Amino acid sequence: MNFELSEELQDIRRLARDFALSEVKPTADADDKAHRFRRDLVQKMGELGFLGCVIPEEYGGNGLGYLALAILAEEIARVHSSLRLIFAGNTLGPAITLWRHGNEELKQKYLPGLCSGELIGCFAMTEPNAGSDVAAMKTRAVLDGDHYVLNGSKMWISYATVADVGLIYAYTDPTQRARGMSAFIVDMKSPGIITEAITEKLGNWSSPVGSITFENCLVPKANLLGKEGQGFAICMQQLDNTRLASAAGAVGVGQACIDAAVEYATTREQFGQQIGRFQMIQDWIAQMCVDVEAARLLTYRAAFLKDKGVPNTLETSMAKLFASEAANKCADYALRIYSAYGYSEEYPVARFFRDAKYYQIVEGTSNVHKIIISQDALGYRKANR
Ligand SMILES: Cc1cc2nc3c(=O)[nH]c(=O)nc-3n(C[C@H](O)[C@H](O)[C@H](O)COP(=O)(O)OP(=O)(O)OC[C@H]3O[C@@H](n4cnc5c(N)ncnc54)[C@H](O)[C@@H]3O)c2cc1C
Q: Are 161 and 210 in contact (CB under 8 A)?
A: yes
Q: Are 82 and 205 in contact (CB under 8 A)?
A: yes
pTM surpassing 0.85? yes
Q: Is the CB of 16 under 6 A from ligand 1?
A: no
Specify the amino acid at residue 37: F
Whose CA is closest to 116, among 32, 48, 191, 202?
48
Determine the Cα angle at 307 with ends 315 and 116, to 5°: 115
- Helix (H) or strand (E) holding 266, with range, is none
The residues assigned a catalytic role are 363
Whose CA is closest to 90, among 331, 76, 312, 144?
76
| Sign of torsion over alpha carbons 248, 297, 78, 15 | negative
Q: DSSP secondary-structure letter at 200?
A: -
Ligand 1 atom nearest 364 alpha carbon: 21
Task: Give the Å distance between the CA of 48 and the centre of ligand 1.
Answer: 33
Task: Give the Å distance between the CA of 196 and the centre of ligand 1.
Answer: 19
- In the chain, alpha helices (H): 7-19, 25-33, 39-47, 66-79, 81-84, 86, 96-101, 104-116, 231-265, 279-308, 313-338, 340-343, 349-361, 366-378
In angstroms, the CA 269 to CA 271 distance is 7
In angstroms, the CA 245 to CA 236 distance is 15
pLDDT given for residue 88 in this prediction: 98
Residue among 84, 132, 162, 181 whose CB has most ligand 1 atoms within 8 A, to mutate: 132
Q: Is the CB of 85 under 6 A from ligand 1?
A: no
Helix 349-361 to helix 231-265 angle, to the nearest 10 degrees?
160
Q: Is the CB of 125 under 6 A from ligand 1?
A: yes
Spatial CB neighbours of 263, under 8 Å, sequence gap ≥ 6: none
Helix 231-265 to helix 279-308 angle, to the nearest 10 degrees?
150
Q: Is the CB of 367 under 6 A from ligand 1?
A: yes
In angstroms, the CA 203 to CA 196 distance is 18
Neighbours of 307 (CB within 10 A): 17
Whose CA is closest to 359, among 59, 159, 82?
82
Task: Give the Å distance between the CA of 365 and the centre of ligand 1.
Answer: 6
Longest Cα–Cα distance in the chain: 78
Residue by residue, pLDDT tens for the chain (385 residues) are: 568 999 999 999 999 999 999 999 999 999 999 999 999 999 999 999 999 999 999 999 999 999 999 999 999 999 999 999 999 999 999 999 999 999 999 999 999 999 999 999 999 999 999 999 999 999 999 999 999 999 999 999 999 999 999 999 999 999 998 999 999 999 999 999 999 999 999 999 999 999 999 999 999 999 999 999 999 999 999 999 999 999 999 999 999 999 999 999 999 999 999 999 999 999 999 999 999 999 999 999 999 999 999 999 999 999 999 999 999 999 999 999 999 999 999 999 999 999 999 999 999 999 999 999 999 999 999 999 8
Task: Give the Å distance between the CA of 362 and the centre of ligand 1.
Answer: 6
CB-count burial class (<10 Å; 0-12, 13-18, 19+) for 320? buried
Beta bridge partners of 220: 147
Angstrom distances, CA of residue 91 to CA of 62, 274, 288 = 12, 44, 29
Specify the amino acid at residue 206: S
Residue among 91, 156, 243 whose CB has most ligand 1 atoms within 8 A, to mutate: 156
In angstroms, the CA 161 to CA 212 distance is 8
Query: 128 — phi, psi (to 5°)?
Result: -50, -35
Ligand 1 atom nearest 204 alpha carbon: 1
pLDDT given for residue 3 in this prediction: 82
Q: Is the CB of 120 under 6 A from ligand 1?
A: no
pLDDT given for residue 1 in this prediction: 54
Helix 313-338 to helix 366-378 angle, to the nearest 10 degrees?
140
Spatial CB neighbours of 31, under 8 Å, sequence gap ≥ 6: 38, 80, 82, 206
Q: Is the CB of 126 under 6 A from ligand 1?
A: yes
